[in-house]
Chains A and B, each alone.
Chain A
């Protein structure tokens, strides 16, 4: 984020006057005045002072040390920078949402300066807008969709074609051949008319020869078109498969941070939709385009060579017809856009009702929902009807328009023939060429759009392929057999670096120790665990495993030795056996059964009619929360991790099932360094030490009894939970 802008001249003068020789270390704009009107505001910050200006006059000039509680508060649609100056809360600046993250940094800077702490925040040029055209860049990318260099993307795409260049060259050759043959046919027609039919020559041999030639040409064209189609289809298919595989591989390798920034749907559409669009481009659109270009060049040359006047006559209406065509298509597109939107609405109403059908039925709202869908459906029917009518009017009109040029040629050509300036066959040849020229004219208007769409799709794919993972293995990353000693040293981390979630965390965990993490939701417990797995890299400080910084251990190696059991267990589509084996595909059946036994899962699995071969996941057997959890534990046991992470592993279970799972977990955690998060504090009774996290910091550390005696945060949490349990019991009575 840019935090050091250049002051405009007017403000620069004021600053020089007020701040004298002090060096401005941060300087940022803001854009709202206190009345909520857009304004030209600036703040200039030196080591001791902060000067706020609006439209060229000073609004605040503060001594930073006289203030405390600097804060950027985000409200609805705007934000304010506030501070307590000499005991009074004040609004220093107001801005639109664009500046909210910027002023979060400024607030942190001011707060550090006021306490004489060293300021570490750096100004960067990364602003999330395209430096070229100032458009906002789509989230998480540095590629401006408007400024992408289409030629460069096309070149990149060509590098994917390279392995298939022979096929590609062959296809281009076919294009030449086909076009050539297509142009030959009208020529042969002409010879037939002029040399045989018109003179009424009874040369059966020559006549048959011509017919045979025409037939042969058509036959060849047909054969070549078939081969070309097959070639291009296989090329498009292979290319899109290559692209899909490359994108997918990259998606798997990218850090979790990347996935958090993007929606699953967006990634899915890139892997499937965009690669498909490129395939279509190669399979259909590119063929039409190249084909038409060849025909255009070919016919034009021939036409001009034989009669340039007539040729001009044919070409003149083309721009007019193309323009008209474009206008009509624009209208049609708008029409269909509306139809698509109505369809989308009806569809989402339907989806809404069907997925909520239990709620609809239990509240007896069927009538209302029927009416709601009927309305959406009627709206869709109306707009479809209107569009179809318009289409059926426009399309024939369009067709007539396309033929208009031909009538001109026929008129002028017939006169030439009647005046004996031209032969009939020549005219027929001309008319055929005109038809070849005008026929695909409608395609001409689509070509730029096809190309742009295909290139945008390609760019969206390359954007992922070119993305660098945030969490990277460095060159000398080692493989390390983990013993289980984990140490946090001055760890500070935030998902967005201006808002640290964990601050200066220090913790030393002995091998085999079980640590219970306690704290309110949002305190930073899950973040701590994400850092151990190195799903993110720490901002400051380091995490050591057996004395080695985890950034020096190969990621794959590190994670293969960490086991995780989450609150919501995700089971893949497949059998129970496959799911348990997921972490260790080569495990023997004996091992799987032993793991399931330790996890208290063996008995219920055996009770299923299909035993370990029971299908689970989508379209499979539905398992209860407790059953899924035990399968996840079996999976973790088979994995035999050195470090175990239990993130709310028993939160969604009832007490009885929890007992069984606790048992299983007890066996699992033995002799393993374990980090367990639980809201229900009773589940942490086996923990050697409890760590209470409060607002990103470690607030208390100790055993259950020690912390109770301390009467601090943990004590209050325990008391609150006991109260809750009592309340529940009271309600139950």
Chain B
């Protein structure tokens, strides 16, 4: 094998983790996230992608440039200084928008759709989802993700924690 191909292979198999001490994240005036890496490369704008959005929300976060090339991976959010954690969390909350359902006012199933009227942490919401397991996903035994017809996501972190009335309404889908 030639030198160049060996280098290529190496590139494919190594995971670059960002150094929590030396990677400098900051907020741009326009509200985006920028990064200067330890070797001094500057990225005026970066996007964060969770590798395991359901199971490991704060670990293995891929940092990518706007073209989608991976700059590096954040192994764990908690290795970073507190103010950076806040910055990164804000950024991820923007990319991953999934209001948490706190109360179900009404839930009906008819004509192959489920009609929801709920209170979420983002406000009062009405939405429609397709019936069936593709829109009503059990992430764990108790955690539920509801995806509506437009692709909006709503989360129920633990359906047992909902109030009695809401849980009763949810029963038709359980």
Contact = CB atoms under 8 A, between A and B. Distances in A.
Interface in A28-50: 32, 34, 36-38
Interface stretch (A12-20, A87-95, A171-179, A603-611): A87-95
A100 B153 CA distance: 14
A38 B122 contact: yes
Interface stretch (A75-83, A374-382, A524-532, A630-638): A75-83
A135 B128 contact: yes
B115 to A, nearest CB: 7
Contacts of B142: none
Contacts of B95: 75-76
A169 interface: no
Contacts of A77: 96-98, 151-153
A77 B146 CA distance: 11
Contacts of A138: 111-113
Nearest to A344: B133
Interface string B146-163: 001111110000000000
Interface in B74-129: 93-98, 110-113, 115, 122-125, 128
Interface in A106-158: 135-136, 138-139, 145-146
Nearest to B34: A89
A48 B150 CA distance: 31
B112 A91 contact: no
A146 B128 CA distance: 13
Given A76-B95, A98-B150, A727-B5, A90 B31 contact: yes
Interface residues of A, number: 33
B5 A334 contact: no
B10 interface: no
A726 B113 CA distance: 54
B152 A730 contact: no
A56 B153 CA distance: 27
A146 B94 contact: no
Contacts of B44: 89
B29 interface: yes
A80 B171 CA distance: 35
Q: Which of A36, A82, A94, A139 has the most CB of B within 10 A?
A: A36
B94 A90 contact: no
Interface string A67-87: 000000001111010100100
Contact of B96 (A32, A37, A75, A90): A75
Given A730-B1, A730-B5, A145 B111 contact: yes
A159 B88 CA distance: 64
A32 B172 CA distance: 30
B40 interface: no
Interface string B15-35: 000000000000011111000
B123 A38 contact: yes
A555 interface: no
Contacts of A145: 110-113
Contact of A334 (B45, B110, B128, B172): B172
Contact of B94 (A36, A97, A100, A136): A36
B38 to A, nearest CB: 24
Contact of B111 (A38, A82, A146, A727): A146
Contacts of A98: 150, 152
B109 to A, nearest CB: 9
Contacts of B150: 96-98, 100
Given A37-B122, A98-B150, A135-B115, A89 B1 contact: no
A337 interface: yes
Contacts of A76: 53, 95-98, 153
Contact of A97 (B5, B128, B152): B152
A89 B30 contact: yes
A72 to B, nearest CB: 14
Contacts of B113: 135-136, 138, 145
B6 to A, nearest CB: 10
Q: Which of B29, B94, B112, B149 has the most CB of A within 10 A?
A: B94
B2 interface: yes
Nearest to A71: B66
Contacts of B30: 82, 85, 88-91
B89 to A, nearest CB: 12
Contacts of A82: 30
A36 B28 contact: no
A579 interface: no
Contacts of A139: 149
A36 B5 contact: no
Interface residues of B, number: 35
A34 B112 CA distance: 34
B2 A730 contact: yes
Q: Which of B28, B98, B152 has the most CB of A within 10 A?
A: B152
A88 B93 contact: no
A547 B119 CA distance: 61
Contacts of B2: 730
B131 to A, nearest CB: 11
B152 A36 contact: no
A34 B93 CA distance: 10
A456 interface: yes
B60 to A, nearest CB: 16
Contacts of B98: 76-77
Interface string A548-562: 000000000000000
Contacts of B29: 88
A208 B74 CA distance: 99
B5 A32 contact: no
Nearest to A338: B174
B110 A78 contact: no
Interface in A317-353: 334, 337
A88 B44 CA distance: 10
A94 B97 CA distance: 11
Contacts of A90: 30-31
A147 B124 CA distance: 25
Contacts of B151: 77, 97, 100
A75 B5 CA distance: 35
A136 B96 CA distance: 24
A519 B128 CA distance: 40
B143 to A, nearest CB: 16
B97 A32 contact: yes
A37 B97 CA distance: 10
Contacts of B148: 97
B87 to A, nearest CB: 14
A244 to B, nearest CB: 21
Contact of B110 (A32, A91, A146): A146
A730 B3 CA distance: 12
A88 B97 contact: no
Given A38-B122, A136-B113, A136-B128, A88 B28 contact: yes
28 contacts: A34-B31, A36-B93, A36-B94, A36-B97, A36-B122, A38-B123, A38-B124, A75-B96, A76-B98, A77-B96, A77-B98, A77-B153, A78-B97, A89-B28, A89-B30, A89-B32, A89-B44, A89-B45, A91-B31, A94-B94, A97-B150, A97-B152, A98-B150, A100-B151, A135-B113, A145-B113, A146-B110, A727-B5
Interface of A: 32, 34, 36-38, 75-78, 80, 82, 85, 88-91, 94, 96-98, 100, 135-136, 138-139, 145-146, 334, 337, 456, 726-727, 730
What 6 pairs between A and B have smallest CB-CB spacing? A38-B123, A145-B111, A78-B97, A90-B30, A77-B97, A97-B150
Given A37-B122, A77-B97, A98-B150, 8 more contacts: A32-B97, A36-B93, A78-B94, A78-B97, A88-B29, A91-B32, A97-B151, A139-B149
